[in-house]
Structures are given as structure tokens and as C-alpha cells.
Amino acid sequence: MQTIGFIGLGIMGKPMAKNLLKAGYPLIVYDINQEAVEELVDCGAMAGRSSKDVATKSEIVITMLPNSPEVKEVVLGANGVAEGAQPGTIVIDMSSISPIASQEIAKELAKQGVVMLDAPVSGGEPKAIDGTLAIMVGGPQDVFAKVRDILLHMGSSAILVGEIGSGNVTKLANQIIVALNIAAMSEAMVLAVKAGTDPEKVFQAIRGGLAGSTVLDAKMPLVMEGNFEPGFRIELHIKDLLNALDTAHTVGVPLPLSSQVLEIMQALKVDGKAKEDHGGLIQFYEKLANVEVRK
């Protein structure tokens, strides 16, 4: 089996890396959080000394990092992946970053014969843990074909949607839909409770109809428990919506609803809730209406 390097062992990266180990792949890992590295080593991974070291010892390098600047630094910066990668190395960036940044990084890597795919994911921590993420991929068809089976050990689907950058365009579209779904759910359920209706019964009544959604099924039970432990943090969704607006403005597309939800998330960030789950967006509406949606 090919040796895989994995850089970035956060909420998403750690379980994704563990699933590759379970599938039997030799894995070398690196993260600035040494505890996360040690946890993976205990599971059978090797520890890399730096991003460069990981790339030197791997045929495929996967990165799972917070945003564009971190990916650029890890891949192209001092002691980065580019310094250790050999011609023919495949870099798969599974972070959610700007499509333009993906294209810029890929262009630099190509100068030394290294090819890159952008392959962001959707599903949050629960699906990262059980290996059922939706993976959206941009890059060359032949390269995707070589790594598709690897991706499917981390996700239940891996779809090539176009050239480099297309994966992140698709992820931005995904994040717009998720954000607007959570906002719609929040408005509706706050209305229901303020009007004196049992939220559990409203949830059960509407989830099988046209208003039902994966977002509703995933977030509503947690909301009713008052559980806003992060599966996907508000601050990360803010980052994604900022990238969506930046990309949209670059190509000439207005995003009025996304802008409104972004401002709601910014208000929650100011209120100290940036690290809570994005399902906690409902707290903005609860505060306005002076009601809580709980069982």
C-alpha cells in the first residue's frame, strides 16, 4: 500500500486519519498539537517532524487545515510540503478554502511535478468519525482515479466535479445551503415554541414532508437538548461564508441571504459563541424572541 502523509489532526482530520489507519494504510502524521500526533501514533501511525518530513516519506499527502493561509503556509512555506515532495507526489487538500487559493497552490506545486486535488468535505465530525463524509473533488480525472479508493475510506461518496478549485466551489455552495437551512429551521422552531407548540412534535410532524432535510434531522435533536458542542464551529462557518461572498463578488453573483446569515453568525461570535456548533445559530433567534426551543 502507498504511504500516506496526513497533516492537520483537528476535529475533522483526526477521525479521518484514523479511518485510513483502520483501512490498513501506512500513515505518517503531523500537527502542531503534539497530543493529537501522539494519539494517532498510539493507533499505529508514524510521527512526522514537519510538513516537509511528512512529504519526504509519503507518496500521497493529505492536508486538513482551517483556511487558505494555513494551507499555503503548510504546503508552500518554509519546511513545507513542497520542500519535501518528489515529482509524482499527489497532494490532496481536504480543507475548505478559497477556490482561488487552491488554484494558486496547485500552480506552484505543478512547477516541480507535484499534482494537487482540492477535496473538501461535508458532514461534520459525526460523519468524519464513521467515514461517511461527502467529498467534493477538483482536479485531473486520472489523478482522481488513482486516489478515489483512498477517499472512500473517509467518505461514503467522492465526486469529481471539475478542474482544480471546483471542489471548493462546490463546498461553498454546500455551506450556503447548510447555513440557510439552519437559519430557516431556527426561525420556524422559535415561532412554533413562542406560539405555544411542543418543538418535538413539530419536528416529528414536518421532518417527513417537503421541509424535512438532513440538516433538520442532524441539528434539531441537539437544539432541543441544548447541546451546542461543536461538530462544526460557528467560526468555521463564518470563514466559509466569507470565502463564498469573496468568490461570488469576484464572479459577479450577489448573495443576499448568505450575507444576512453571515451577520447573524458574526453577532453570535461577538456574543462569545464562535466555538459552538453552527446549530447554535438558533440562539440568536431565541434571544430576540425571549424563548428557548428545548424539550
% of the chain beyond a pLDDT of 70: 100
Question: What CATH number was assigned to the domain covering residues 169-289?
Answer: 1.10.1040.10
Torsion over CA: 166, 171, 177, 183 (sign): negative
Does position 40 have pLDDT exceeding 90, yes or no? Answer: yes
Mean pLDDT for 8-33 is 97
Domain ranges of the chain: 4-162, 169-289
Q: Confidence class of residue 180 from pLDDT cuts 50, 70 and 90? A: very high
Does position 1 have pLDDT exceeding 90, yes or no? Answer: no
Q: Confidence class of residue 231 from pLDDT cuts 50, 70 and 90? A: confident
- What's the CA angle centered on 256, arms 203 and 219, to 5 degrees? 25
Q: Please write the tens of the pLDDT for every residue from 246-258.
A: 999 999 999 999 9
CA-based nearest residue to 189, from 207, 177, 175: 207
Mean pLDDT for 43-49 is 98
Mean pLDDT for 20-48 is 98
Separation CA 164–CA 284 (nearest Å): 37
Does position 175 have pLDDT exceeding 90, yes or no? Answer: yes
Q: Please write the tens of the pLDDT for every residue from 187-224.
A: 999 999 999 999 999 999 999 999 999 999 999 999 99
Considering only 121-125, 143-147, 268-272, 283-287, which range has the smallest mean pLDDT?
A: 121-125
CB-hemisphere CA count at 13 Å for 98? Answer: 16
Backbone angles phi, psi at 123, to 5 degrees: 140, -15
Does position 124 have pLDDT exceeding 90, yes or no? Answer: no
Does position 168 have pLDDT exceeding 90, yes or no? Answer: yes
Q: Please write the tens of the pLDDT for every residue from 48-105.
A: 999 999 999 999 999 999 999 999 999 999 999 999 999 999 999 999 999 999 999 9
Separation CA 131–CA 283 (nearest Å): 30
Q: So what's the pLDDT on residue 29?
A: 98
Does position 37 have pLDDT exceeding 90, yes or no? Answer: yes
Q: Which three cell numbers stand for residue 46?
A: 508514524
- How much is the pTM? 0.91
Q: Give the type of residue at 15.
A: P
DSSP 25-55: --EEEE-S-HHHHHHHHHTTPEEPSSHHHHH
**Catalytic residue set:** 171
Does position 265 have pLDDT exceeding 90, yes or no? Answer: yes
Does position 146 have pLDDT exceeding 90, yes or no? Answer: yes
Does position 43 have pLDDT exceeding 90, yes or no? Answer: yes
Asked whether this chain's domains 4-162 and 169-289 adopt the same fold, the reply is no
| Mean of per-residue pLDDT scores for the chain | 97
CATH-assigned architecture of domain 4-162:
3-Layer(aba) Sandwich (3.40)
